[in-house]
């Protein structure tokens, strides 16, 4: 799906009533992200703010009331919005003595979810407003045994980060979220050409998906395997080489694995996940006996991918590492996380920017999947058997 990112610069002539005061919270910027099932509006703020959101009909619109707020002169609000399923335009003005009101005129009725995010190393305070189709049903199915598979093997491809969360960055401003999405799309092409496989992507363009939702989407697609693709950074620019990770419930296998897992697990703080997004019944089933077999498959799966990655470049670790990655916590889907290289390393950043190398990485992951399925063909390729 096409990405819609809007960064708007307000004209220097603002109404005097919107002038910033020393006691007000500034609205510094506004960003808009369009995902398959929702549109996200993000307000960058100079501090914590009191706000109230109201919905109205005839015509459909949303009012965002910000107490003791002002609009910073170097940024601003958009007007007409094109090609957005929910938003028609933005308006704003002084609603009362101490309240600025931002009005979003809508194309259709919406269901609204909003939450505040505390500052982190990337962003300051933010107000996040997510808009969903009001009449579209919300799936609330509990985790249960997966149905028997009688068709192709489904591979869930998870391109890390996206949207607000750009992931790691290189010296040439290379964004991890862009690199891994390109690799994911190349992998999808290879899988969809294979007669025994089909692909499912957890994100198809530049928008954020929470860590828990990624696993939920894979389960909803009845995925048989899950591969999360990353290109991370390390505190030392000399760090280099590809790695493959599986889930550990007993601690990380190395200091690097522990550091990386902590970094990836904090993605929701940057990408913007509400408390409800992090509440998930997956955690309650992680001690299920089925998980042991899933972890066994994950290590085998990861081992085959690692062997193929070694053929195209240097490895950071020659064995599959383990750590408590949230995105790998599917109780019944063998899952691995592939670090395609360190974007913080100048040499590997150049490689990762190359379309040729991106295709090589995708081919290596695909070959690893093929070899794993050949080894475990009884569990994954028998039409008469279940998924496991």
pLDDT of residue 255: 54
Mind listing the pLDDT tens digit for each residue in 107-126?
999 999 999 998 888 889 99
Verify that 32 and 169 share a domain, yes or no: no
Verify that 273 and 342 share a domain, yes or no: yes
- 3-state DSSP of the chain: CCCCCCCCCCCCCCCHHHCCCCCCEEEEEEEEEECCCEEEEEEEECCCCCEEEEEECCCCEEEEEEECEEECCCCCCCCECCCCCCEEEEEEEEEECCEEEEEEEECCCEEEEEEEECCCCCCCCEEEEEEEECCCCCCCCCCCCCCCCCCCEEEEEEECCECCECCCECCCCCEHHHHHHHHHHHHHHHHHHCCCEEEEECCCCCCCCCHHHHHHHHHHCCCCEEEEEECCCCCCCCCCCEEEEEECCCCCCCHHHHHHHHHHHCHHHHHCCCHHHHCCCCHHHCCCHHHHHHHHHHHHHHHHHHHHHHCCCCECCCCCEEECCHHHCCCCCCEEEEECCCCCCHHHHHHHHCHHHHHHHHHHHHHHHHHHHHHCHHHHCCCCCCCC
Residue 1, domain member (yes or no): no
The token pair that represents 280 in the structure block: 């998930």
Residue 354 Rama label (left phi>0; alpha psi -120 to 50; beta):
beta
In contact, 369 and 225? CB cutoff 8 Å: yes
Verify that 120 and 160 share a domain, yes or no: no
Residue 373, domain member (yes or no): yes
Verify that 330 and 245 share a domain, yes or no: yes
In contact, 26 and 66? CB cutoff 8 Å: no
Verify that 260 and 368 share a domain, yes or no: yes
Residue 138, domain member (yes or no): no
Verify that 41 and 101 share a domain, yes or no: yes
Q: Is the pTM of this model over 0.75?
A: yes
Verify that 129 and 160 share a domain, yes or no: no
Verify that 236 and 124 share a domain, yes or no: no
Residue 214, domain member (yes or no): yes
pLDDT of residue 137: 63
Half-sphere CA count of 168, side-chain side, radius 13 A: 27
In contact, 141 and 280? CB cutoff 8 Å: no
pLDDT of residue 336: 97
Residue 92, domain member (yes or no): yes
Verify that 310 and 204 share a domain, yes or no: yes
Q: Average per-residue pLDDT in the chain?
A: 82
Residue 143, domain member (yes or no): no
Number of independent structural domains in the chain: 2
In contact, 364 and 358? CB cutoff 8 Å: no
pLDDT of residue 330: 84
Verify that 260 and 229 share a domain, yes or no: yes
Residue 43, domain member (yes or no): yes
Q: Does 203 have pLDDT greater than 80?
A: yes
Residue 144, domain member (yes or no): no
Domain termination site, one of 98, 133, 168? 133
Domain termination site, one of 77, 98, 133? 133
Q: Does 259 have pLDDT greater than 60?
A: no
Q: Does 382 have pLDDT greater than 60?
A: no
Full domain range(s) for residue 80? 16-133
The CATH number of whichever domain residue 320 belongs to comes to 3.40.630.40
Verify that 284 and 315 share a domain, yes or no: yes
Query: How far apart (Å, rounded) are the C-alpha atoms in residues 261 and 211?
Result: 12
Domain termination site, one of 75, 98, 133? 133
The CATH number of whichever domain residue 51 belongs to comes to 2.60.40.3500
Q: Does 7 have pLDDT greater than 80?
A: no
Verify that 188 and 258 share a domain, yes or no: yes
């Amino acid at each position: 799906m096409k990405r819609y990112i809007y960064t708007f610069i307000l004209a220097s002539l603002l109404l005097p009533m919107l002038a910033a005061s020393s006691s007000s919270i500034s609205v510094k910027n506004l960003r808009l992200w369009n995902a398959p099932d929702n549109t996200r509006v993000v307000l960058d703020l100079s501090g914590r703010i009191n706000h109230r959101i109201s919905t109205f009909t005839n015509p459909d619109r949303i009012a965002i009331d910000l107490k003791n707020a002002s609009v910073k002169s170097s940024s601003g609000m958009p007007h007409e919005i094109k090609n957005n399923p929910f938003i028609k335009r933005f308006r704003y003005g002084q609603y009362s003595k101490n309240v600025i009101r931002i009005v979003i005129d809508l194309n259709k009725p919406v269901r609204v979810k909003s939450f505040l995010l505390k500052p982190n190393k990337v962003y300051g305070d933010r107000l996040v407003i997510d808009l969903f189709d009001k009449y579209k049903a919300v799936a609330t199915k509990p985790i249960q045994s997966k149905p028997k598979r009688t068709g192709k093997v489904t591979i869930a491809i998870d391109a890390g980060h996206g949207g607000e969360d750009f992931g790691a960055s290189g010296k040439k401003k290379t964004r991890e979220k862009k690199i891994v999405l390109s690799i994911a799309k190349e992998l999808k092409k290879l899988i969809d050409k294979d007669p025994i496989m089909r692909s499912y992507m957890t994100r198809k363009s530049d928008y954020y998906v929470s860590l828990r939702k990624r696993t939920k989407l894979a389960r909803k697609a009845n995925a048989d395997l899950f591969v999360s693709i990353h290109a991370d950074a390390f505190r030392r620019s000399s760090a280099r080489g590809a790695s493959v990770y599986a889930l550990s419930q007993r601690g990380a296998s190395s200091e690097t694995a522990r550091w990386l897992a902590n970094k990836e697990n904090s993605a929701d703080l940057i990408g913007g996940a509400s408390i409800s997004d992090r509440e998930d019944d997956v955690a309650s089933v992680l001690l299920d006996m089925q998980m042991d077999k899933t972890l066994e498959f994950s290590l085998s799966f990861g081992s085959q991918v690692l062997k193929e990655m070694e053929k195209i470049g240097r490895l950071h670790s020659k064995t599959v590492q383990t750590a408590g990655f949230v995105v790998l916590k599917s109780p019944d889907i063998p899952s691995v996380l592939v670090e395609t290289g360190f974007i913080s390393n100048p040499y590997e950043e150049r490689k990762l920017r190359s379309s040729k190398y991106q295709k090589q990485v995708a081919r290596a992951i695909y070959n690893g999947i093929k070899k794993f399925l050949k080894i475990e063909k009884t569990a994954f390729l028998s039409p008469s058997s279940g998924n496991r």
